[in-house]
């Protein structure tokens, strides 16, 4: 894969003893609990130089995450090594990244070639299919999709028929509905790169929909957000998604009528601690 930016990190203090000019913030000790930009101190009436450079770096990483193309072939090859069903490479109706960013509607539909490919396949007879979509951060998918599925697929092995995995370029969340319907799956789960924040250019979201079909709206989906090493751990994300999938199949619904009550069940100790310290609530679906 092509070189990608690392996670946000503090820059070395660029200026010398100039730190003497910085007035520290009395709440600075709270920064150990969050990567949010709080209690930065001040130099006169401005940000200290170090905080300003950290912000510029984070902004550049977020922009790069949005504009960089997903390197599909290495990812598809590694996913194929995990899964016994085919791993398919698909494309939305947006032909390139600039078009994708300016025309969200095209990112919600398959290209003619990809639609024909799915229509030529035999019925998958699957309970669930996974759609790996670049979304607004291909970096998030390159970092998190494989380790997450490495834990998720074994958890489903005994009770779920998992269909082909699709890797889709220039895709929005709703594209999973068309793919799930074409493959005849009862459930579709879309792994997608979330809109980057200034402390999280690599956050992955999971969107689950029961009985997917084109034309569905966001109220029909359940979202698990901020799946990444510094956020919601893979173990906790697997625990939550597995719970929601079981409930969706039992109650034959998803979305606003299906609440996430997985925290009331036993979860790995490490996962519970990570969730309490590092998770965030659902983001706005795309």
Q: Which residues are annotated as a binding site for adenosylcob(III)alamin?
A: 173, 194, 223
**Secondary structure E strands in 55-201:** 87-91, 128-133, 165-169, 187-193
In 3-state terms the chain splits into helix, strand, coil percentages (rounded to 5) of 40, 15, 40
Residue 186 tokens, joined: 């009862």
Going by the annotation, the residues of the binding site are 173, 194, 223
Are the C-beta atoms of residues 219 and 283 closer than 8 Å to each other?
Answer: no
Q: Are 238 and 151 in contact (CB under 8 A)?
A: yes
Which residues lie closer than 8 Å to 64 by C-beta, 6 or more apart? 4, 5, 139, 201
| Contact yes or no for 132/191 (Cβ under 8 A) | yes
């Amino acid at each position: 894969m092509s070189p990608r930016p690392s996670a946000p990190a503090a820059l070395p203090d660029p200026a010398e003893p100039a730190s003497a000019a910085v007035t520290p913030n009395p709440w600075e000790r709270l920064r150990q609990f969050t990567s949010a930009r709080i209690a930065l101190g001040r130099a006169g009436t401005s940000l200290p130089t170090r905080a300003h450079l950290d912000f510029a770096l984070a902004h550049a990483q977020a922009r790069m995450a949005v504009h960089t193309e997903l390197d599909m072939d290495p990812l598809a090859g590694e996913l194929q090594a995990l899964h016994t069903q085919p791993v398919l490479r698909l494309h939305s109706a947006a032909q390139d990244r600039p078009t994708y960013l300016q025309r969200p509607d095209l990112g919600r539909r398959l290209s003619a070639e990809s639609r024909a490919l799915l229509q030529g396949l035999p019925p998958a007879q699957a309970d669930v299919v996974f759609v790996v979509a670049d979304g607004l951060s291909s970096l998030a998918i390159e970092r998190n999709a494989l380790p997450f599925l490495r834990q998720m697929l074994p958890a489903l092995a005994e009770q779920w028929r998992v269909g082909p995995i699709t890797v889709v370029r220039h895709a929005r969340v709703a594209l999973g509905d068309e793919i799930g319907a074409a493959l005849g799956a009862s459930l579709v789960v879309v792994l997608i790169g979330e809109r980057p924040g200034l402390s999280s250019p690599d956050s992955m979201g999971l969107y689950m929909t029961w009985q997917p079909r084109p034309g569905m709206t966001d109220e029909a989906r359940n979202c698990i957000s901020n799946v990444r090493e510094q956020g919601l751990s893979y173990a906790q994300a697997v625990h939550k998604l597995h719970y929601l999938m079981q409930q969706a199949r039992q109650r034959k619904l998803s979305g606003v009528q299906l609440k996430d009550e997985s925290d009331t069940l036993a979860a790995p100790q490490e996962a519970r601690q990570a969730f309490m310290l590092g998770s965030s609530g659902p983001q706005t679906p795309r």
